[in-house]
Amino acid sequence: MNKYFISISAGILLSAIGATQLNAQFVTTTQSQQWKVQASPKAGAAIKADSTLIIDLSKTDQTIEGFGTCFNELGWTSLSLLPEKERDGILKEMFAPGVGANFTVCRMPVAANDFALEYYSYDDTEGDFAMNNFSISHDKATLIPFIKAAKKYQPNLKVWASPWTPPAWMKWNKHYACASTAAMKQRMEQMMKRMEQNRKPGQAAPSLPGMLSVDNGLAIDKQIKEGTDGFIQEPQYLKAYALYFQKFIKAYRTEGIEIFGVMPQNEFNSNTLYPGCCWKAGSLANFIGKYLGPAMQEIGVKTMFGTVERAKEAMVDTVLTDSDAQKYVSAVSFQWAGRGALPGIHQRYPNMKLIQSEQECGNGKNDWAAMMHCWELMHHYLNNGVSIYDYWNTSLLEGGVSHWGWSQNSLVTVAKDGKSFKYTLEYYLLKHASHFVLPGAKRLVTAGDCKDVICFVNKDGKVAVLIANEADADKTVSIQLGKKSYSPVIKAHSVNTIIL
């Protein structure tokens, strides 16, 4: 490949990739106006350059596998309130190649997660180690039609899966959760009492968070502490759980849905009020190396490690250096505080595929501040080797409240009466990258004094730059490509994609 250098000046920069389907060469999103096509920047050097970015097309890092979202039950029930034509239009916008977001790699839960309708597993029969009562019948009302509706527009959609909790009878506390609502409520009430004593005139009175509005019924003495094993670490349970994964894969195959990979546990170091299960990293290494890995290899499915939600590289090292587990782990995923462990892992394991498994989910307000935080997350993950970038909630009712009382953001919000919907700011941010960064694109390693930037080159040789300007004033960007210079104006408080 020929070497080119691109000099870019701007307040804050990020890059994406050019796609032949989009005619526009310059697209802008602001808080008040989303996805506005601008006039293509014309040749002409800028009078003033605020900073410089140098892109060498011969210096590349990871290959992008794709962007996507997650198939949660509340995503489907919210979309199902809309007329079929409108629902199909949303799915076409998200999944059809060349139309909108171009989603190609998505996540799904193995049974209940925190945005399910309720707690459930695929086999709640105590002691059924042979999985004779295994069934995915629950999913036929929500997750299966949701995935099939997406595959209608993207037949080659790749799906991976992870459980939030095993069947409750496989945990020593015999409950789907690890943390007790009653215990957390006690702690919060004590904290609120102290806050009330120190509250200044005019300050709002403290109140309990919404996630404490639903009592999960777990006794205080049955809580599973972080850093311990909630799963019963006996061979018959571990063997049965690997079989549970096999049954899940095979059952979905009968529905025409192929799962390309699985992870053993979502957020294995978090004791949650909603479905969850704590594991020690060493226990997960043992499960992967002796049970899950061989079981998945037997049926042609990849085993991946995650999801990592703590900034503790040693936890990942424990698995990747285990003599048995390392034979099977094909990728590692990170989310939330786990992003802190990502740079070190990418540096030490440069050939390991890395995944951003769940973009942080906000508070249900879907505002500009949350979108800009997502911008910062995207910049961090993609600049540190991530090949797959997955959003969390595809769609939620306005307010985004889960069964367990947690409000979160989503790509689409649906009115509670089902009469209207809207794409959120975070959808447009993701689209600014995913529409242009197609599978096979490579991230470019850049130089210069403009550090807040990500660059990609697509397989067709096109480059795109995603630029955000968080300042209060417009900024001029000086872009030099070969012997040509371009000087687009970047609006204040905006995200922009410029295709080169």
What are the pLDDT digits (tens) for 150-202? 999 999 999 999 999 999 999 999 999 999 999 988 888 888 788 878 888 88
Q: Supply the DSSP string of 176-213, one letter for each residue.
A: S-SS-HHHHHHHHHHHHHHHHHTPPTTPPPP---GGGS
Strands of 170-309, DSSP E: 259-262, 302-308
* Superfamily for the 65-179+213-436 domain: Glycosidases (3.20.20.80)
Q: Which residue has the higher pLDDT, 463 or 8?
A: 463
Whether pLDDT at 357 is above 90:
yes
- 3-class SS of residue 96: coil
3 state SS of 486: strand
* Assigned CATH topology for domain 5-61+443-499: Immunoglobulin-like (2.60.40)
CA dihedral 355, 396, 21, 155 (to 10 degrees): 70
Helix, strand, coil content of the chain in percent (nearest 5): 30, 25, 45
**Partners of 414 in the β-ladder:** 397, 421
DSSP result, 462-473: -EEEEEEE-SSS
232 to each of 112, 205, 450, how far by Cα in Å? 19, 43, 50
For all residues of the chain together, what is the average pLDDT?
91
316 vs 16: CA distance, rounded Å: 29
Which strand (E) or helix (H) includes residue 104?
A: none
d(CA 350, CA 363): 34
Return the bridge partners of 27, or none.
Answer: 37, 497
- Domain extents for the chain? 5-61+443-499, 65-179+213-436
Mean pLDDT of 472-480: 84
Structural tokens at position 360: 């942080």
Classify the C-alpha dihedral 243-246-247-248 as positive or negative: positive
* Res 172: pLDDT: 98
Going by pLDDT thresholds of 50, 70 and 90, the confidence category of residue 24 is low
What DSSP letter does each residue of 130-146 carry, written as one string? T-TT---GGGGGTHHHH
Cβ count within 10 A of residue 127: 9
Nearest to 381 by CA among 71, 64, 164: 64
The answer to whether residues 74 and 153 touch, using CB atoms and an 8 Å cutoff, is no
Whether 2 shows a pLDDT value over 70: the answer reads no
Please determine, for residue 420, whether its predicted confidence score (pLDDT) is greater than 70. Answer: yes
**Quick check: 165 and 267 in contact, CB under 8 A?**
no
Q: What is the DSSP letter of 214?
A: S
Task: Give percent of the chain above pLDDT 90.
Answer: 76
Token digits for 264?
Answer: 């053993």
Q: Is the pLDDT of residue 5 over 60?
A: no
